[in-house]
Amino acid sequence: MFIADSRSPGEEAAVPALREAERAFRTSLAIVEEKLEGAVPNRELTEMRTRLYLNLGLVYDSLREPAKCDHYIKKSIFLSEQGRLYEDLYRAYFNLGNIHLREGEHSGALRCLARARDCARKMKEKGMESECCGSTAQVLLSLGDFAAAKRSLKQAYVLGSRQPWQRDLIRSNLRYATKVTRLQEALEEAAASDPPAALALCEQLGDAFSKHGDYRRAVEYYQKQLSFAQELQRPAGELAVIHVSLATTFGDLRNHVRAVHHYRQELALHRGNALEASWGLGGSLWVPGGFLGALRCSLGGLPRSLGGFPEYLGVLLGSLRESPGPWGGH
């Protein structure tokens, strides 16, 4: 729809093209102001200005110049409101709402998307309204309000999306929100009266969040799972598996210090025997889960200077040498 939409923010290779787009939009704006005034109906002039201001705002968003982005999108909104240009007003509010969402400004995102939805309703454009509901659901998912996100996604689904990929995304997010809501409600009931059930539900929630890429919430529920497991005095092997989940998820968060901490906890629970850490390769060979996880962290960017990491690998390798089997020396 707009030149700026196809550019990824911050890409060095895109900067020259974005500057060229900026010049083109400014040139067009000058033509509107200097040559078309009086020659074209006022409504058409206003439409031209609102779209050029919005395009400039999106260019500056891609260039990561937030003050200019905000200035031009708000100019587009002001003119659209004055001229009752609901389609242009929808575009401005929808884009601004998604910019707020990307920047973590949830209240601003919800306000803008609500106003965009009002415009879609006035135009009786169900596809546009569905887009607003879908984006509103993304904000609510980010906030952790899964029940409200589920309601918004249902509305988006009923209204119908304009593109197949949008329908697929709405269905996927609706399944996710429904599952999380169901599990959270079950956990709330089980937490006080049925700790073993609560433990299993925490694991399911952690796995669901991890699969969806919400690693911070995944960590939260894996930690709750660990607390229940410790309270129930579960065997060391079960505790070790939870530490692996935490270590892997902290690795996804690039928090390598915490990842190595949990791999150490896993190893300690196996009394230093890395060969007992996990079973892999189709059951044909013992594979040291903590060792492979630590290497994964290392390859993901773990600094070699990180305190304790060489020591950790030394412990693992020493355990391998002392253990019987194909990895050891006996």
Segment 226-257, tens digit of pLDDT: 999 999 999 999 999 999 999 999 999 999 99
Q: What is the pLDDT of residue 35?
A: 74
Cβ–Cβ under 8 Å, residues 305 and 259: no
Distance (Å, rounded) from C-alpha 183 to C-alpha 204? 8
Bridge partner list, 280: 285
In the numeric block, which tokens belong to residue 86? 């609901």
Residue 296 CA, chain-centre distance (Å), reads 22
Cα radius of gyration (the chain): 27
Q: What is the pLDDT of residue 305?
A: 34
User: Distance between the two ends of the chain, CA-based, in angstroms?
Assistant: 67
Q: What is the pLDDT of residue 21?
A: 93
The residue type at 330:
H
Segment 146-199, tens digit of pLDDT: 999 999 999 999 999 888 999 999 999 999 999 999 999 999 999 999 999 999
Residue 107: band (very low, low, confident or very high) from pLDDT cuts 50, 70, 90: very high
Distance (Å, rounded) from C-alpha 7 to C-alpha 3? 8
Q: Which long-range contacts (CB under 8 A, 24 or more apart) does 195-201 make?
A: 195/228, 195/231, 195/232, 196/228, 196/232, 198/228, 199/225, 199/228, 199/229, 199/232, 199/234
Cβ–Cβ under 8 Å, residues 228 and 202: yes
- What are the structural domains, with CATH classification, of the chain? 3-168 (1.25.40.10), 179-322 (1.25.40.10)
On the question of pLDDT at 306 being above 80, the answer is no
Section 44-66 average pLDDT: 95
Distance (Å, rounded) from C-alpha 135 to C-alpha 112? 11
Continuous segment of H or E residues that includes residue 90: helix 86-102
Segment 257-284, tens digit of pLDDT: 999 999 999 989 987 555 555 433 233 2
Of the two residues 316 and 86, the one the predictor is more confident about is: 86
Residue 18: band (very low, low, confident or very high) from pLDDT cuts 50, 70, 90: very high
Residue 39: band (very low, low, confident or very high) from pLDDT cuts 50, 70, 90: low
* β-pairing verdict for 278-280 and 285-287: antiparallel
Helix, strand or coil, per DSSP, at residue 305: coil
Distance (Å, rounded) from C-alpha 37 to C-alpha 35? 6
pTM of the model: 0.76
In the numeric block, which tokens belong to residue 69? 């982005």
Of the two residues 148 and 34, the one the predictor is more confident about is: 148
Section 13-41 average pLDDT: 86
Instruction: Work out the angle between the directed axes of helices 86-102 and 106-123 (0-180°, nearest 10).
Output: 160
In the numeric block, which tokens belong to residue 29? 């704006």
- Burial (0-12, 13-18, 19+ Cβ within 10 Å), 212: middle
Q: What is the pLDDT of residue 34?
A: 79
Range ranked top by mean pLDDT from 16-20, 197-201, 290-294: 197-201
Helix, strand or coil, per DSSP, at residue 36: coil
Cβ–Cβ under 8 Å, residues 131 and 162: yes
Helix and strand element counts for the chain (H, E):
14, 2
Phi, psi of 171 (to 5 degrees): -60, -45
